[in-house]
Amino acid sequence: MQNILVTGGCGFIGTNFIYYMLSNAGFNGRIINVDKLTYAGNPDNLVAAEKKYVKRYIFEKVDICDTRAMADIFDRYAVDAICNFAAESHVDRSIIEPDAFIKTNIEGTFRLLELARGTKHQLKLFHHVSTDEVYGSLGMNGYFTEHTPYRPNSPYSASKASSDHLVRAYFKTYGLPVTISNCSNNYGPYQFPEKMIPLMILNALEGKPLPVYGDGRNVRDWLFVTDHCQAIWKIMQAGKRGEMYNIGGQCEMANIDLVGRICDLLDDMVPGAAASPRRNLITFVEDRPGHDKRYAIDFSKLTDELGWMPQETFESGIRKTIEWYLDHQAWVDQIKNGAHYQRWMKQQYGENQKPLE
């Protein structure tokens, strides 16, 4: 793999993956980043990569659904591998406006697969980045394995499940070399602050309410983003073609416990706030419709076959994440001051977003 097409590289995980690939992964080839730059994509994330890796990093603002533009990119850069991150990724948005999820996640993946099929002889791999949410919801016991049947519950997870099926079908039908990874909830630098962890960090820093859905007992498994990037690259290099691999953090937590830990850590790292202790900011709000109760991952296949284990503990990962948001105030302000974000926050959380007295 010398010319890897990364789609959605200006988003959260894509940005982290590109930095990892250019600096720490032992990869010497080129990364061609194709991103449509939706509200979630930020080209500024990769300005440092553009400067430092002039010959090895290329950015193209293109929609993956635009077959003609994508075909041109395949040709121009002799793409020989694909890592497909591009997606609409927020469950709450998929509940309100599912159209873009169907378009990008399903049709976009389909269009990419068709192009990949056309260049099959030079294409070494189509890696598809997916989620554990395709499996649906667990009760208090058990784990998702690669054999768990797909039972997606949100428009987001249903669209990802659909794309996974297409990827698998292209392996079975056309012999396209594919791999799929299904990962648990990520956190870390560059995550858009509509997702749980950055939203809670930023609200807590501003003394705003921390909106916990339902009773806060829903459980997620959390993985630091760099660990996810390492797992993807391992699978791309040595994963069996046609197979899927679960990725998880061995870090299950109820939402209410997670928010409490963020509050305690912020009290410690940024003391003296008016709203201290920050746990007082926790506010239970109406539950998300169809809210999956629990996700938990058995990733023993990835450990046994490829020797991957997460490196970061939650303690070290969440501290690094908070430090990153504290150190990147301009990045945060650019998003927070944007009309799009303000509209979303008002629509989702109403007037509740004012700092508490």
Question: 162 or 185: whose CB is closer to ligand TYD?
Answer: 185
Pair 36, 86: CB distance under 8 Å: yes
Give the interface size with ligand NAD as a residue count (CB under 6 A): 32
Candidates 142-150, 213-221, 273-281, 317-325 — which segment interacts with ligand TYD by CB under 6 A?
213-221
Question: 100 or 270: whose CB is closer to ligand NAD?
Answer: 100
Nearest one of 216, 224, 349, 348 to 293, comparing CA atoms: 216
- Structure token pair of residue 196: 């749980």
Q: Cβ–Cβ contacts within 10 Å for residue 216, how many?
A: 16
Question: Which residue number is nearest to ligand NAD in terms of Cβ?
Answer: 11
Binding mask of the shown chain, residues 179 to 218, with x at each position contacting ligand NAD by CB under 6 A: ----x-xx-----x--------------------------
Binding mask of the shown chain, residues 124 to 153, with x at each position contacting ligand NAD by CB under 6 A: -----xxx----------------------
91 binds ligand TYD (CB under 6 A): yes
Q: Is 94 exposed, middle or buried (0-12, 13-18, 19+ CB in 10 A)?
A: buried
State how far the Cα of 137 lies from the Cα of 132, in Å rounded to an integer: 9
State how far the Cα of 292 lies from the Cα of 274, in Å rounded to an integer: 35
Q: Which of 35, 132, 292, 312 is catalytic?
A: 132
Handedness of CA 201, 204, 210, 215 (dihedral sign): positive
CA distances from 142 to 19, 137, 148, 296, 317 (A): 35, 10, 11, 7, 25
321 binds ligand TYD (CB under 6 A): no
Cα 115–13–286 angle (5° rounding)?
A: 110
Do β-strands 219-224 and 252-254 pair in parallel, antiparallel, or remain unpaired? antiparallel
249 binds ligand NAD (CB under 6 A): no
Pair 77, 3: CB distance under 8 Å: yes
Binding mask of the shown chain, residues 33 to 72, with x at each position contacting ligand NAD by CB under 6 A: -xxxxx-xx---------------------xxx-------
Nearest one of 43, 150, 159 to 97, comparing CA atoms: 159
- Which H or E element spans position 347? helix 339-349
In the residue annotation, 77 being an active-site residue is answered as no
User: Residue 85: which residues within 8 A CB-CB, separation 6 or more?
Assistant: 6, 7, 8, 9, 11, 13, 14, 17, 129
Question: Which residue number is nearest to ligand TYD in terms of Cβ?
Answer: 196
12 binds ligand NAD (CB under 6 A): yes
113-172 residues near ligand TYD, rule: CB under 6 A: none
Residue 220 interacts with, from ligand NAD, ligand TYD, none (CB under 5-8 Å by kind): ligand TYD
Q: Which member of 45, 181, 218, 246 binds ligand TYD (CB under 6 A)?
A: 218
In the residue annotation, 133 being an active-site residue is answered as yes
21 binds ligand TYD (CB under 6 A): no
Question: 80 or 132: whose CB is closer to ligand TYD?
Answer: 132
Give the interface size with ligand TYD as a residue count (CB under 6 A): 12
Candidates 7-15, 140-148, 197-205, 303-311 — which segment interacts with ligand NAD by CB under 6 A?
7-15
The set of catalytic residues is 132-133, 156
Residue ranges binding ligand TYD (CB under 6 A)? 91, 185, 195-196, 199, 211-213, 218, 220, 255, 288
Residue ranges binding ligand NAD (CB under 6 A)? 7-8, 10-14, 34-38, 40-41, 63-65, 85-89, 104, 108, 129-131, 160, 183, 185-186, 192
